[in-house]
Amino acid sequence: MTRVFITIDTEYSSGLYNGPGADDRAENFARSIACVTPEGPAGITHKLELLAEHGQKAVFFVDPMPALVWGVAAIEDIVGPIVAAGQDVQLHCHTEWLGLAGPASPLASKATGKNLADFAFEDQCAILDYARTTLIAAGASAPVAFRAGNYGANDDTLRALAATGLDYDTSHCPALVGSGACRISLGAEDRDPVGHMGVIEVPVGAIGTMGGGLRHAQLTALTLGELVSAIRHAKDSGRDSFTVVSHSFELINRRRQAVNPIVRRRFTGLLKALARMRGVETGTYAGTPPLLSLTGSTTALPACPFRTSRRIAEQFVSNALYGSI
């Protein structure tokens, strides 16, 4: 049985932050978490309803760092509905909030940086301890898994996770090695769960590209056909798991607060396909965590001119008609 991990980075937007007031928090929640649109909400409650309708599980990586400016209640409003729906809550962390929190922050003595990897090991331990404690205070069970905001982790991050009591990290994105914020010392060929720096590193899924590279398995980066084909390829290759990335706000354009029907169709279609697919189930870190790779193939789904052409056309239409996130 191949387990598909539908991972949803669930986060307020530091880019939309305008101040510590309740009105600003409510506006950010509406655009980044609830994703309120004239057609109705398209954020986490919408995704929770779709997951329940199709009998699927997902992992919500929740960022508790906005509690630095809005308090724990801002995180409780996120965690509560996810826990009530029986879905998995794990830990996410965007360190951009440290710079917004100011001198009143309990982490004010720490440096600031865009990514967790920008901090020294001791500071990473302190940040992760705060994030873990805050997530639990907001109503989540003690997390066992983590993803860094912007994938911005390094080997010290993994050591800090181990010291904080987390067993899994999923910040390594093979398709972005050398071009993204992640500085974990693994390569593009590391595509299955592997023990590294005291934790189990669970790479983000990827497919092959026409130029010989990789493209990451994110809801906004691949078509529905590519996602389904990649999962079938993982199953046929005997792989234990395959990780898909999404975000709480990806079904809309946040600035226009309008639904992107192309991306929403991908998410709904993926759940329908998984419900029908034999030999595949959706997994959680709390219940069915990924296993270390022993015999599974690390070969990515080979590039296909037809699938690639369709993606380019679909992405063009999506961006032209509905705009970027």
Task: Indicate if the alpha-carbon torsion angle 264, 176, 158, 298 is positive or negative.
Answer: positive
- For residue range 153-212, list pLDDT tens digits in order: 999 999 999 999 999 999 999 999 988 799 999 999 999 999 999 999 999 999 999 999
- For residue range 44-94, list pLDDT tens digits in order: 999 999 999 999 999 999 999 999 999 999 999 999 999 999 999 999 999
Question: Mean pLDDT over residues 291-318, rounded?
Answer: 88
Q: Is the separation of the CB atoms in 294 and 250 below 8 Å?
A: no
For residue 324, what pLDDT is reported? 63
The rounded distance, in Å, linking the Cα atoms of 222 and 305 is 14
Average of per-residue pLDDT values in the chain: 94
Q: Which three-class secondary structure state does DSSP give residue 269?
A: helix
For residue 241, give Cα distances in angstroms to 3, 157, 177, 238, 296: 5, 23, 20, 9, 9
Phi, psi torsion values for 23, nearest 5 degrees: -65, -40
- For residue range 237-252, list pLDDT tens digits in order: 999 999 999 999 999 9
Q: Is the separation of the CB atoms in 174 and 205 below 8 Å?
A: no
pLDDT exceeds 80 at position 213? yes
Weakest mean pLDDT among 109-113, 144-148, 159-163: 109-113
The rounded distance, in Å, linking the Cα atoms of 33 and 12 is 7
The rounded distance, in Å, linking the Cα atoms of 50 and 169 is 26
The rounded distance, in Å, linking the Cα atoms of 161 and 65 is 16
Rg of the chain taking only CA atoms, in angstroms: 19
The rounded distance, in Å, linking the Cα atoms of 50 and 188 is 33
Q: Is the separation of the CB atoms in 41 and 257 below 8 Å?
A: no
Band of the pLDDT at 31, cuts 50, 70, 90?
A: very high
* Runs of H (alpha helix) within the chain: 22-32, 44-54, 67-70, 73-84, 96-101, 121-137, 155-164, 224-236, 261-276, 305-322
Residue with tokens 């599980």: 57
Catalogue the E-assigned strands of 197-299: 199-201, 206-208, 214-216, 241-247, 252-253, 258-259, 280-282
pLDDT exceeds 60 at position 295? no
Give Cβ neighbours of residue 82 (< 8 Å, ≥ 6 apart). Answer: 10, 44, 48, 60, 62, 88, 89
Give CATH superfamily name and number for 2-322.
Glycoside hydrolase/deacetylase (3.20.20.370)
Strand 214-216 and strand 206-208: pairing? antiparallel
Task: Indicate if the alpha-carbon torsion angle 220, 224, 229, 231 is positive or negative.
Answer: positive
Spell out the domain ranges in the chain: 2-322
For residue 111, what pLDDT is reported? 77
